[in-house]
């Protein structure tokens, strides 16, 4: 089986991987909200490049509160209008990404950048939306849990309590797949973003149930790509928008 995460709109590369004829797991963040390298993304389309570049500058300066305040001030009084416009942009953005999965045996979950309901509705026949359940792939019991760690209050984020409940509902699995990284410093600390964003619930699941492998995304530039947590081999799937490469299990 092949695995990717953090597609962020890279539909052509995703189609190339999907055509390889192997089961494909897509572990969230199919939308490109903002490419920190170029400034491109849905937020630029929605808010304008000037505002997005200002927000990005404040975040690079280590002022996430100021960045959030600038954003909130811009949309104040226009929340319903901005939400409707954003949903329309998201539906349009999901079209080429979903089309890339046409004809593939694909299992898709969501990340913090996604709108889960719209993602589920956009998937083509044969592509299965999976969240909080285990499926059998190539003879292995694979548990898949979507959602990013709670930081900004966006629809693709989930609380630690929710993550823990859905993880425990899996029981024991051979392979755990999540969007969120485990709360282990080298795996969850983004050396570019400068902040850790790991889940204690994921880490505790690994220590308790000891699956053979854990695959995840979310952290684009981790300190370490792979690490052991107890008996589990953990692997960051990388920033697919940048690499265009899938990871083959095993």
Task: Identify the three-state secondary structure at position 43.
Answer: helix
Closest CA to 178 of 1, 23, 8, 25: 25
Identify the pLDDT of residue 97: 97
- Binned at pLDDT 50, 70 and 90, residue 233 comes out as very high
Average pLDDT over residues 119-145: 97
**Domains held by the chain: number:** 1
Identify the pLDDT of residue 63: 67
How many other C-beta atoms are found inside a 10 Å radius of the C-beta of residue 117? 12
Identify the pLDDT of residue 52: 83
Task: Identify the three-state secondary structure at position 22.
Answer: coil
Min mean pLDDT across 193-202, 221-230, 234-243 is at 193-202
Average pLDDT over residues 55-84: 78
Average pLDDT over residues 49-65: 75
Which residues, other chains included, contact 143 with Cβ-Cβ below 8 Å and sequence gap of 6+?
133, 134, 167, 170, 173, 175, 176, 177, 211
Spatial separation of the C-alpha atoms in residues 181 and 186, rounded to whole Å: 10
Q: What is the pLDDT of residues 10-40, one digit of tens each?
A: 999 999 999 999 999 999 999 998 887 788 8
Residue 242 has pLDDT above 80, yes or no: yes
CATH number at residue 136: 3.60.21.10
Task: Write the DSSP string, 101-159.
Answer: TTTS-EEEE--TTS-HHHHHHHPPTTEEE-SSEEEEETTEEEEEE--EESSS--TTEE-
Q: What is the pLDDT of residues 142-200, one digit of tens each?
A: 999 999 998 877 889 999 999 999 999 999 999 999 999 999 999 999 887 556 789 99
Let me know: does 218 contact 183? Beta carbons within 8 Å.
no
Q: By residue range, what is the domain housing residue 76?
A: 2-248
Residue 66 has pLDDT above 70, yes or no: no
How large a percentage of the chain has pLDDT more than 90?
75
């Amino acid at each position: 089986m092949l695995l990717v995460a953090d597609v962020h709109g890279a539909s052509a590369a995703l189609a190339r991987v999907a055509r390889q004829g192997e089961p494909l797991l897509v572990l969230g963040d199919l939308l490109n909200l903002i490419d920190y390298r170029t400034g491109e993304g849905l937020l630029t389309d929605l808010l304008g490049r000037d505002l997005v570049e200002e927000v990005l500058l404040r975040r690079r300066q280590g002022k996430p509160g100021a960045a959030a305040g600038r954003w909130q001030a811009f949309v104040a009084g226009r929340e319903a209008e901005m939400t409707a416009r954003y949903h329309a942009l998201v539906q349009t953005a999901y079209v080429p990404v979903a089309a890339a999965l046409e004809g593939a045996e694909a299992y898709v979950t969501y990340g913090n950048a996604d709108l889960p309901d719209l993602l589920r509705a956009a998937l083509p026949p044969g592509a299965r939306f999976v969240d909080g359940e285990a499926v059998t792939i190539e003879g292995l019991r694979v548990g898949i849990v979507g959602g990013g760690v709670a930081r900004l209050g966006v629809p693709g984020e989930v609380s630690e309590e929710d993550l823990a409940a859905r993880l425990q509902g899996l029981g024991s699995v051979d392979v755990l797949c999540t969007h969120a990284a485990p709360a282990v410093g080298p795996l969850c600390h983004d050396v570019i973003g400068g902040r850790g964003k790991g889940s204690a619930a994921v880490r505790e699941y690994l220590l308790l149930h000891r699956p053979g492998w854990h695959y995840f995304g979310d952290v684009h530039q981790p300190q370490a790509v792979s690490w052991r947590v107890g008996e589990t081999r953990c692997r960051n799937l990388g920033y697919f928008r940048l690499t265009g490469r899938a990871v083959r299990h095993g």
